[in-house]
Structure 1
Amino acid sequence: MSEQSENRRQVETLHGLEVTETAVVITVTSNGCTDKDDFEIEVQKSLPPIATFIRVQPDFCEAVPHSVDISFSLKEVGAAEFKVGNPFRPGPRQLSR
């Protein structure tokens, strides 16, 4: 990994999190160009494991900031029961569809 891409990696602030029987949905801020490929999950081995959602590609678009949901399978997270290493804070509204 290059130094430039390492500098772009940041722990994402989450606005919400939902866990179902098959998936984890995180709510994050988007400026118009955020998608699932912009994130990686780092899992710290512990009991239970700690999953941290890392933004690896910044969203440089210029739309009005809004919240979006990004879904990962539990297989992608690597555990059905886990703690979350990300900070949480209220975020902007989701855009109407």
Structure 2
Amino acid sequence: MSEAAVEITVQSGGCTEKTDFRLIVKELEILAEIAIVRVKPDNCKGFFPMGVTIEFPLADISLSGQIQKITISNPIAKTGMRSLK
């Protein structure tokens, strides 16, 4: 996660797109928990051993102005909590 976006690296056969994912946001006072769900599988047969990185700009995620920290509630690799201030 960067200052301006939530970034995920996912497996891909070459047809993975940002629109293949849905973000479920739960706000808890100053904390936002985001679950990332893949809603469309990538059935292509390309070889991308490192996967692909998908970026979700924070400006596109409807968060209230009170949110100071974001955590991903279903990470594969722990990246920790990120402070927005």
Q: Same fold (TM over 0.5)?
A: yes
Q: Does 1:76 align with 2:60?
A: yes
CA contact (8 A) 1:51 1:77 kept: no
Identify the residue that residue 23 of structure 2 maps to in structure 1.
41
CA distance in 1, matches of 2:5, 2:12: 21
Count of residue pairs brought into register by the alignment: 71
Quick one: percent identity of the two aligned structures?
A: 35
SS of 1:43's equivalent?
A: strand
Structure 2 residues without counterparts, runs of 5 or longer: 78-85
Shift of residue 83, structure 1, vs aligned partner: 1.2
CA distance in 2, matches of 1:85, 1:50: 6
- Aligned-pair Cα RMSD in Å: 1.8
Q: Does 1:56 align with 2:39?
A: yes
Structure 1 residues without counterparts, runs of 5 or longer: 1-18, 90-97
Q: Which amino acid aligns with 1:75?
A: A
Identify the residue that residue 28 of structure 1 maps to in structure 2.
10
